[in-house]
Structure 1
Amino acid sequence: MVERTVVIVGMTGSMGSQALEVIKKMGSFRVLAGTYHSSFDKAQSLAKEYAVEKLICTKDGYEELEAFLEQRRPDIVMVCIPGFASLPVTLKALRTSRRVLLASKEALVCGGWLVKEAMKETSCELIPLDSEHSAVMQLYEPSVERILLTSSGGALRDWKLEDLDRAKPEDVLRHPVWKMGKRITIDSATMVNKGFEVLEACELFQLQASQVEVLIHREGLVHAAVFLKDGTIKMHLGFPDMRVPIAYGLTYPDRRYEHRKWPNFAETQLRFQQVEKCRYPAFYLAYQIENDYAKRTAYNAADEVCVEAFLQGRIRFTDIARVLAKVVEKIEGTPRDLQDLKDVDEASRKLAEEVIEWL
């Protein structure tokens, strides 16, 4: 089997580390490079264990990575860094590789049209790594009328509404299903991450937000479902394990990863419940800004600022939704290119900090 070359952007994060495990288990892949932001010791340890040929530090920017991609032109680039920074990296990866595995929601949330333009200009494939979007991709067919994405509801799903003000970072970071990074775990508790996923699904599958339903599913077994025009529903089920969609993305359209563990249906309940607007107000903002890339970029930028402020103890958990709503309301514009989006991102971050100061 031909060996394929891979670059992992965000190697020291949860997704990047799991990708290395998958690659080692399957073989037939060669990791040309992996990036890290500040975790040099971890990066060095991973590089030694998994034979990563080059380490690239991105703390001061992504210029070295972009030059490396231009020079080496890998078969696959895996993008799993959080935030707006994932957008320019994704655009570069689309122009310098044959397949981009996208774990970063923000690239499509902020610049979906730019990503699709880059795909048209190249022959590069874009494959989502979110468990929900990977599931929809595996289920999708032309007769799909609408889709369902599931959510755990996050660490505070059973807290009384009046107690949410008191939630501390250590409370919010206890995710009931997945083991993830700090930002996405907090975004799971506010369900901002699911708002991102609604917008991402619209870009990936040419849907309107009204065609994307989200329900809370505590068991974490159903990742997505598609509703077909003849009344059929197809569901994607499996234990919550990000190594499975990572492996599928690496080997698509084949399935070479072996992990023979399945839910026991005789002992399994599948329960679904509505997403309460009073508990997750920030989630519902996504439906209001579906067609506005400026406000979508503001939604992400304000969230990045708020998550950091919450971790630092500068704001309460419930302030996150308030700040997001205010920033999204104030930011306007019609971005034409990446620079316009960068300007919106910068303005939104500044405004979010100002709103936080006034709380």
Structure 2
Amino acid sequence: MVERTVVIVGMTGSMGSQALEVIKKMGSFRVLAGTYHSSFDKAQSLAKEYAVEKLICTKDGYEELEAFLEQRRPDIVMVCIPGFASLPVTLKALRTSKRVLLASKEALVCGGWLVKEAMKETSCELIPLDSEHSAVMQLYEPSVEGILLTSSGGALRDWKLEDLDRAKPEDVLRHPVWKMGKRITIDSATMVNKGFEVLEACELFQLQASQVEVLIHREGLVHAAVFLKDGTIKMHLGFPDMRVPIAYGLTYPDRRYEHRKWPNFAETQLRFQQVEKCRYPAFYLAYEIENDYAKRTAYNAADEVCVEAFLQGRIRFTDIARVLAKVVEKIEGTPRDLQDLKDVDEASRKLAEEVIEWL
């Protein structure tokens, strides 16, 4: 079997580390490089354990990574970094590799049309690594009329509404199903993360937001479903383990990863419940900004600022949704290119900080 080359952007994060584990287990892949932001010791340890050939620090920017991609032209680039920074990296990866595995929702949320333009200019494949979008990809067929994405509801799903104001970072970071980074765990509690996924699904599968339903599913076994025009519903089930969609993305269309773990359906309940608007107002904001890339970029930028402010104790958990709504309301415009989006991103961050000061 021909060995395929891989670059992992965000190697020290949860997704990047699990990708290395999967690659080692399956073989036939060679990791040319992995990036890290500040976790040098962890990066060194991973590089030694998994034979990563080069480490690239991105703390001061992504120029070295972009030059490396241009020079080495890897078969696969995994984009696992959070935030707006994932967009220019994804665009570069699409132009310098054969397959991009995208774990960063923000690239499509902020610049979906730019990503699709880049794909038209190249023969590069784009495969989502989110468990929900990977599931939809595996279920998808032309007669799909709508999809269901499931959500855990986050760490505060059973808290009384009147108690949400007093939630501390340590409370919010106790995710009931997945082990993930701090930002995505907080975004799961606000369900901003699921708002991103709705917008991402629209870009990936040519859907309107009204065709994307979201329900809370506590067991974490059903990742997605598709609704077909003849009344058939197809569901994708499996234990919550990100190594499975990672492996599928690496070997698509083949399945080479061996997991061999299935639910005992005789002892399993599958429960679904509506997403309460009073509990998750920031989630519903995503549906209102579906066709506005400026506001979508503002939604992400304000969230990045708010998550950091919450972790620092500068705002309450419930302030996150308030700040997002105010920033999205004030940001307007029609971005035409990446620079326009960068300007919107910068303006939105500044505005978010101003709104936080007013609270």
Tell me whether the two structures share a fold, i.e. TM-score over 0.5: yes
Q: Secondary structure at the match of 1:147?
A: strand
Q: Distance in 2 between matches of 1:38 and 1:236?
A: 36
Q: How much has 1:18 moved relative to structure 2? A: 0.0
- Paired with 2:52 and 2:77, the residues of 1 have a C-alpha distance of 14
Q: Structure 1: give runs of 5+ residues left out of the alignment.
A: none
Q: Alpha-carbon deviation of 1:73?
A: 0.1
How many residues are matched?
359
* Shift in Å, 1:128: 0.0
**Shift in Å, 1:220:** 0.2
Q: Which runs of 4+ in 1 moved over 3 A?
A: none
Q: Give the SS at the match of 2:159.
A: coil
Query: What does the per-residue CA deviation read over 1:204-260, in whole Å, with 9 as the maximum and x for residues that have no partner?
Result: 000000000000000000000000000000000000000000000000000000000
2:222 & 2:276 partners in 1: Cα distance? 20
Shift of 1:48: 0.1
Deviations along 1:46-77, whole A, 9 cap, x unmatched?
00000000000000000000000000000000
Q: For residues 53-103 of structure 1, give each alpha carbon's deviation from its aligned partner in whole angstroms, at most 9, with x where no partner exists.
A: 000000000000000000000000000000000000000000000000000
Please give the alpha-carbon distance, in whole angstroms, between the structure 1 residues aligned to 2:264 and 2:234.
19
CA–CA distance in structure 2, aligned partners of residues 80 and 17 of structure 1? 10
Q: Deviations over 1:300-359 (max 9, x none)?
A: 000000000000000000000000000000000000000000000000000000000000
Measure the CA separation in 2 of the matches of 1:263 and 1:184: 26
User: 1:145 and 1:115 mapped to 2: Cα distance?
Assistant: 24
1-side partners of 2:198 and 2:315: how far apart?
26
**Matched residue SS, 2:256:** coil
- Match of 2:31, SS state, is strand
Q: Deviations over 1:154-194 (max 9, x none)?
A: 00000000000000000000000000000000000000000
Q: Give the match's secondary structure for 2:5.
A: strand
Structure 2 Cα separation of the partners of residues 305 and 145 of structure 1? 36
In 1: Cα distance, 2:76 partner to 2:277 partner: 39
Return the alpha-carbon distance in structure 1 between the equivalents of residues 316 and 38 of structure 2.
27
> For 2:353, what is the secondary structure of its paired residue?
helix
Q: Partners in 2 of 1:266 and 1:228 — Cα distance?
A: 27
State the Cα deviation string for residues 11-37 of structure 1 (Å, max 9, x = none). Answer: 000000000000000000000000000
- TM-score between both structures, scaled by the size of structure 2: 1.00
**Aligned-residue offset at 1:134:** 0.1
C-alpha displacement at 1:276, in angstroms?
0.1
Give the Å deviation of 1:264: 0.6
Question: The residue matched to 1:203 in structure 2 has which SS?
Answer: helix
Q: Counterpart in 1 of 2:87? A: 87
Residue 168 of structure 1 corresponds to: 168
1:78-134 per-residue CA deviation (whole Å, 9 max, x = no partner) reads: 000000000000000000000000000000000000000000000000000000000
- 2:227 and 2:300 mapped to 1: Cα distance? 29
Q: Separation in 2 of the partners of 1:33 and 1:9? A: 8
SS of 1:236's partner is: strand
Q: Distance in 2 between matches of 1:218 and 1:333?
A: 39
Instruction: State the SS of the aligned residue for 1:56.
Output: strand
Which whole-Å CA distance do the structure 1 matches of 2:43 and 2:80 have between them?
15
SS at 2:150 equivalent:
strand
Three-state SS of the structure 1 residue aligned to 2:93 is: helix
CA distance in 1, matches of 2:143, 2:294: 32
Q: What is the CA–CA distance in structure 1 between the aligned matches of 2:263 and 2:315, rounded to whole Å?
A: 40
